[in-house]
């Protein structure tokens, strides 16, 4: 089997006396669309924050493509190919949709280092290149017609697409999505799923936190369930559906909620 793109070993994070993530060990398969489920407070977002470098673990390690990346900053991890979106997107509201995408880091730290030494012509050429790439990405996520709108004026679902566009500017190999379908109307959810699946077919790996069980069960493989900071289950969607512990303790309760 191919090397996992992410290897998580004994990852642990405490908040004071409370252990939010408790010795999580997981391999994320290269090219998979991995679903991460679990009740509120299970530690899903904390796990994402540990994987993306937003939080430091108390114990454990993370490897990306075989390289130990434990404790690296989000910028470094993004440059190494790991991108994420947030549960609640926060674009710069008064800037246009296009400007928001253009501001996303492209993952190429060389540009930032060389920046002050570039001639005005080079800077203009670079800006034109970034603008063109941003338009292509907006085209892909179907937001190109809104490129000049202030980002604060677009709908919640369109903001999720904008988030995806910003992540795609860096062309990461692994994308962590935090509740992509939450609060998104069905037609935009459809577009979002289509785009995620297209990117996945193109080889990108996704790890998706989602409460919408229909979404997880029909699009994710494997499905991983966390409860109280630990891995409760991992397997296919069919196995998740047939698992009595998940069904009783949790899928049923979530379907009701
Ligand atoms: N910065 C923090 N300080 C203290 N406690 C925190 C912090 N962040 C998270 N927690 C606690 O850690 C636990 C796990 O939270 P987390 O947000 O990771 O859960 P989750 O599975 O993502 O839940 P949800 O589905 O509601 O987003 C919760 O009990 C939460 O209150």
Q: What is the CATH number of domain 1-81+172-257?
A: 3.40.50.300
pLDDT for the residue 166: 92
Among left, alpha and beta (phi > 0; psi -120 to 50; other), residue 179 is: left
Q: How many CB atoms lie within 10 A of CB 66?
A: 9
**Ligand 1, residues 36, 37, 41, 88: which to mutate, most atoms within 8 A of Cβ?**
41
Ligand 1 atom with the smallest distance to the CA of 226 is: 21
Q: Which token pair is 110? A: 């060389």
User: Could you give the CA distance from residue 88 to residue 136 in angstroms, rounded to a whole number?
Assistant: 24
**How much is the ipTM here?**
0.94
Residues having CB closer than 6 A to ligand 1 are 15, 20, 38, 40-46
User: Could you give the CA distance from residue 12 to residue 35 in angstroms, rounded to a whole number?
Assistant: 20
| CATH 3.40.50.300 domain residues, the chain | 1-81+172-257
Q: How many CB atoms lie within 10 A of CB 148?
A: 9
Q: How many CB atoms lie within 10 A of CB 203?
A: 9
Which residue's CA is minimally distant from atom 18 of ligand 1? Answer: 43
User: Could you give the CA distance from residue 42 to residue 51 in angstroms, rounded to a whole number?
Assistant: 16
Helices (H) and strands (E) in the chain, counts: 11, 10
User: Could you give the CA distance from residue 185 to residue 180 in angstroms, rounded to a whole number?
Assistant: 11
Mean pLDDT for each 10-residue chunk of the chain (257 residues)?
89 97 97 93 94 96 96 91 79 88 68 61 80 93 94 90 91 92 83 91 95 87 94 92 75 51
pLDDT for the residue 157: 87
């Amino acid at each position: 089997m191919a090397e996992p793109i992410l290897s998580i070993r004994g990852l642990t994070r405490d908040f004071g006396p409370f252990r939010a993530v408790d010795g999580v060990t997981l391999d994320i398969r290269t090219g998979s669309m991995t679903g991460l489920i679990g009740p509120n407070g299970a530690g899903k977002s904390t796990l994402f924050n540990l994987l993306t470098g937003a939080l430091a673990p108390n114990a454990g390690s993370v490897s990306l493509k075989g390289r130990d990346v434990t404790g690296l900053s989000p910028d470094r991890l993004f440059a190494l190919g790991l991108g994420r979106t947030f549960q609640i997107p926060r674009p710069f509201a008064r800037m246009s949709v296009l400007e928001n995408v253009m501001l996303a880091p492209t993952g190429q730290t060389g540009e930032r280092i060389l920046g002050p030494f570039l001639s005005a012509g080079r800077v203009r050429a670079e800006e034109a290149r970034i603008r063109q790439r941003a338009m292509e990405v907006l085209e892909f996520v179907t937001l190109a017609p809104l490129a000049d709108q202030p980002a604060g004026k677009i709908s919640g679902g369109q903001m999720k697409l904008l988030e995806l566009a910003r992540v795609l500017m860096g062309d990461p190999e692994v994308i962590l999505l935090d509740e992509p379908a939450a609060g998104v109307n069905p037609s935009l959810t459809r577009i979002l799923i289509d785009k995620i699946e297209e990117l996945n077919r193109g080889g990108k790996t996704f790890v998706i936190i989602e409460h919408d069980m229909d979404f997880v069960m029909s699009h994710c493989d494997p499905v991983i369930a966390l409860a109280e900071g630990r891995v409760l289950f991992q397997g296919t969607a069919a196995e998740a559906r047939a698992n009595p512990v998940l069904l009783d303790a949790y899928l049923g309760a979530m379907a009701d909620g």
